[in-house]
């Protein structure tokens, strides 16, 4: 039971797109008042932290239209309908980087923008990597790079890495390295 | 110069809302082909990691319509027009929790959903906290809680903490505690 529940009075589909849909919802507030909520629906996604046997992190550089710039990110992609997150993680890692992983471990999941979107990212760590051929989507142009922890932190400092999931991934990797060195 | 630049051929405003706007853009791909991009525009936001003198993290519990559930998050809020992120951090921390901070340090910034949105979050760490009266917005219903690191990790494990910025904040706090204990 939610103490602060906002009950839906009306929900209007504004736009149904290829990746996202936008709804405008009228809600009843806990104090009886009303408000409007803009809600973006997204199919959900996975992101993978691929760590090579040389202890390097595999990143993909790509242009992001929403940001009008190129950034380096951990490999990621949308869930296909009814696709299990672990299967999606294996698929996206292979498509974007060419790597197959002997070990694919689910770490956590998080919503990216709870204020307006339901996008949920399942985060995996991939190790035991074996290199093959990348198979990007026809409208996807990516460059694969492998970086040390220091290089990743430098990219973050310079805002060439500039998104939440990749910033999280670097912290995860840092914590893992600290624990291993103890 | 961006190697993978997607040049805008046409941009159509689909919806202009209170918090977000949605655009549908036709772009020219690096190989000369064309594609459509759905882009959500957002004013940007701040999030604050408030750490008390008792080494507790201040969280706010609130209902998120996009998720249809309540979650615990670090205090956060949208930038007002022309508002400096540091001023917004001071304002949102005060409004949502009642706390004023002697030290407000900018840590980093990250895009939350680069695949479809331009929302950029500026992240701050607030220390030297002094308690006052919270002043939430009229349509904002929040409960303030203070948790230890172990309690925060437990909330994350149970998915009561379930968003990227707060997951990042807990990692940041963990790394800080590890460094201090060395």
Task: Answer yes or no: is pLDDT of B156 > 90.
Answer: yes
Which candidate, A4, A113, A140, places its Cα nearest to that of B111? Answer: A113
- Paired with A131 in beta bridges are A99
> Hey, which residues 114-153 in chain B have their CB within 8 Å of chain A?
114-119, 121, 138-139, 141-143
How many other C-beta atoms can be found within 10 angstroms of the C-beta atom of residue B147? 17
pLDDT value of position A102: 97
Which candidate, A39, A62, A60, A41, places its Cα nearest to that of A49? Answer: A60
Neighboring chain B residues of A159 at a CB cutoff of 8 Å = 109
Q: What percentage of chain B has pLDDT greater than the value 70?
A: 99
pLDDT tens sequence across B18-72: 999 999 999 999 999 999 999 999 999 999 999 999 999 999 999 999 999 999 9
B175 touches A at CB < 8 Å: yes
Pair B35, B104 in one domain: no
pLDDT value of position B63: 97
Least confident of A32-41, B128-137, B155-164: B128-137
* Average pLDDT for B146-151: 98
B171 touches A at CB < 8 Å: yes
* Average pLDDT for B173-180: 92
- Paired with A150 in beta bridges are none
Query: Mean pLDDT of all residues in chain A?
Result: 96
pLDDT tens sequence across A54-88: 999 999 999 999 999 999 999 999 999 999 999 99
- Are B139 and A29 a contacting pair at CB < 8 A? yes
ipTM above 0.85, yes or no: yes
pLDDT value of position B3: 82
Pair B84, B116 in one domain: yes
Q: Which two tokens stand for residue B144?
A: 């303030």
* Average pLDDT for B11-17: 98
Pair A56, A36 in one domain: no
pLDDT value of position B149: 97
Pair A93, A120 in one domain: yes
Instruction: For tokens 């979650």, name the residue.
Output: B71
> Hey, which residues 89-118 in chain B have their CB within 8 Å of chain A?
108-118
pLDDT value of position B72: 98
* Average pLDDT for B156-161: 98
The 3-state secondary structure of B78-131 reads: ECCCCCCHHHHHHHHHHHHHCEEEEEEEEEEEEECCCCCECCEEEEEEEEEEEE
Question: Nearest CB to B163: which of A66, A67, A111?
Answer: A111
* Average pLDDT for B90-116: 98
Neighboring chain A residues of B62 at a CB cutoff of 8 Å = 4
- Are B162 and A109 a contacting pair at CB < 8 A? yes
pLDDT tens sequence across B4-13: 999 999 999 9
pLDDT value of position A140: 83
Pair B71, B149 in one domain: yes
pLDDT value of position A139: 80
Half-sphere exposure of B135 (CA within 13 A, CB side): 9
pLDDT band at A108 (very low <50, low <70, confident <90, very high): very high
Which candidate, A70, A74, A46, places its Cα nearest to that of A58? Answer: A74
A1 inside domain: no
pTM summary value? 0.96
CATH code where residue B147 lies: 3.90.79.10
* Average pLDDT for B155-171: 98
pLDDT value of position A44: 98
pLDDT value of position B59: 98
Assess contact for B24 and B38: CB atoms under 8 A.
yes
B153 inside domain: yes
The count of structural domains within chain B is: 2
Q: Please report, for residues A13, A25, A26, A34, B17, the alpha-carbon distance to residue A10 in angstroms, rounded to integers and kept in the order given.
A: 10, 6, 5, 11, 16
Classify burial at B33, counting beta carbons within 10 Å of its beta carbon; exposed 0-12, middle 13-18, buried 19 or more. exposed
Pair A37, A89 in one domain: no
Task: Answer yes or no: is pLDDT of A1 > 80.
Answer: no
Q: How far apart are CA A124 and CA A59, in angstroms?
A: 14
pLDDT tens sequence across A128-148: 999 999 888 888 899 999 999
pLDDT value of position B182: 73
Task: Answer yes or no: is pLDDT of A3 > 90.
Answer: no
Pair A14, A103 in one domain: no
- Are B118 and A67 a contacting pair at CB < 8 A? yes
Query: Which residue segment(s) compose the domain that B33 sits in?
Result: 7-41
Residue B64 CA to its chain's centroid (Å): 13
- Are A110 and B14 a contacting pair at CB < 8 A? no
Pair B84, B20 in one domain: no
Pair A77, A126 in one domain: yes
Pair B33, B80 in one domain: no
Task: Answer yes or no: is pLDDT of A13 > 90.
Answer: yes
Q: Which of A43, A113, A179 to mutate to test the interface with B (most CBs of B within 10 A)?
A: A113
Q: Please report, for residues A85, A133, A140, the alpha-carbon distance to residue A97 in angstroms, rounded to integers and kept in the order given.
A: 18, 8, 12
């Amino acid at each position: 039971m939610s103490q602060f529940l906002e009950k839906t009075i009306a929900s209007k589909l504004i736009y149904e797109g290829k990746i996202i849909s936008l709804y405008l919802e009228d809600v009843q507030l806990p104090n009886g008042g009303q408000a409007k909520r803009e809600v973006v629906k997204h199919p959900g996604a996975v992101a993978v932290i691929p760590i090579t046997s040389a202890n390097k992190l595999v990143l993909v550089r790509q242009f992001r239209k929403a940001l009008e710039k190129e950034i380096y990110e951990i490999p990621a992609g949308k869930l296909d309908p009814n696709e299990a997150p672990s299967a999606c993680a294996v698929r996206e890692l292979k498509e974007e980087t060419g790597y197959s992983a002997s070990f694919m471990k689910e770490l956590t999941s998080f919503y990216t923008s709870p204020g307006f979107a339901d996008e949920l990212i399942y985060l995996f760590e991939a190790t035991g990597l074996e290199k093959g051929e990348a198979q990007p989507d026809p409208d996807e142009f990516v460059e694969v790079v492998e970086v040390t922890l220091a290089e990743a932190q430098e990219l973050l400092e310079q805002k060439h890495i500039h998104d939440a999931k990749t910033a999280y991934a670097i912290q995860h990797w840092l914590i893992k390295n600290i624990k291993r060195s103890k």
